[in-house]
Each structure stands twice: as structure tokens, then as C-alpha cells.
Amino acid sequence: MRVCAFCGMAEKKIPSWVVMESQSCMAFLDNNPVAPYHTLVIPKAHFENILDVPRSVLQDVTEMTRQVSLLYQQKLGFDSFQIFTNAGPHSAQSVWHLHFHVLPRINGDSIKFQATPMPELVHQYPEMLKRLQ
């Protein structure tokens, strides 16, 4: 297994800016923020991404993600968030420990985090759905 910085943070061996913590997960300010209050929410136990995490742990992490968002809404007035995770080498995952990003958004901020629509894919939906059966 690779050396995992997030495991080190969860074990308090590496300092972090903790926003919220429970027995199973923690939320901390990102060391490479792209927005004020850019927060990462992780399980304390090591799971690489959403593909290998047990349902109960995922539920804890997503509930903490919700709690962080509500905290920022109540204390700071944020009313918009981008919440996402990357899973796998082709997704821009850079730390191989499951984590959700919480990006508070405000009108006119400079974050350029937007996918380019591909409407031409719609005609492929019948075949795409067939492959899932």
C-alpha cells in the first residue's frame, strides 16, 4: 500500500485544519484550496474510492458532507455548493483515499469547474442502456 497522507491526518500524525470529526470520519480544509472553505471529507479507515468503501462508511461520510454544508450555510451564509469525488486514475483522483470535496460557491466567484456538454451522446442512449442489461 502507498503511504497515505489522509490516513496520517486521520491518525493525527500529520497536522490538518479539522472542521468536524466523528468516530468514523473527519472533515478538514484542503491544503490546495480552489475556494474559501474548500473542505475534504474522508473516512478515517482507508478505502481508495467509492468503488471499495462499505455502504455504512459511505453513509457516514455523506452525512458528514451534509453536516459540513449545513454548517457553512448556517454560520457563513453559503447557499450553493459543488460536492464531488473522483474515483480512479482517469478521473483526476490524486490521493488514493476516498474523499469528497465540498466547494462553497458564491455568485461571480472565479472557480472554473464546469464540464462541457456532449449532446451528441443522447442518440447513443438506447445502446448504452442495452449494455447495462
Instruction: Render pLDDT for 42-55 as a digit per residue (tens, 0 to 9).
Output: 999 999 999 999 99
Integer CA distances (angstroms), 27 to 43, 65, 80, in order: 9, 8, 18
The yes-or-no answer on residue 38 being catalytic is no
Return d(Cα 66, Cα 21) in angstroms, integer. 13
- Domain CATH for 67: 3.30.428.10
Residue range(s) defining the domain that contains residue 63: 5-131
Active-site residue, from 46, 99, 101, 123:
99
> What is the tally of structural domains in the chain?
1
* pLDDT band at 128; cut points 50, 70, 90: very high
| pLDDT tens-place string over residues 65-122 | 999 999 999 999 999 999 999 999 999 888 999 999 999 999 988 887 777 889 999 9
Given pLDDT bands bounded at 50, 70 and 90, which one contains residue 2?
A: low
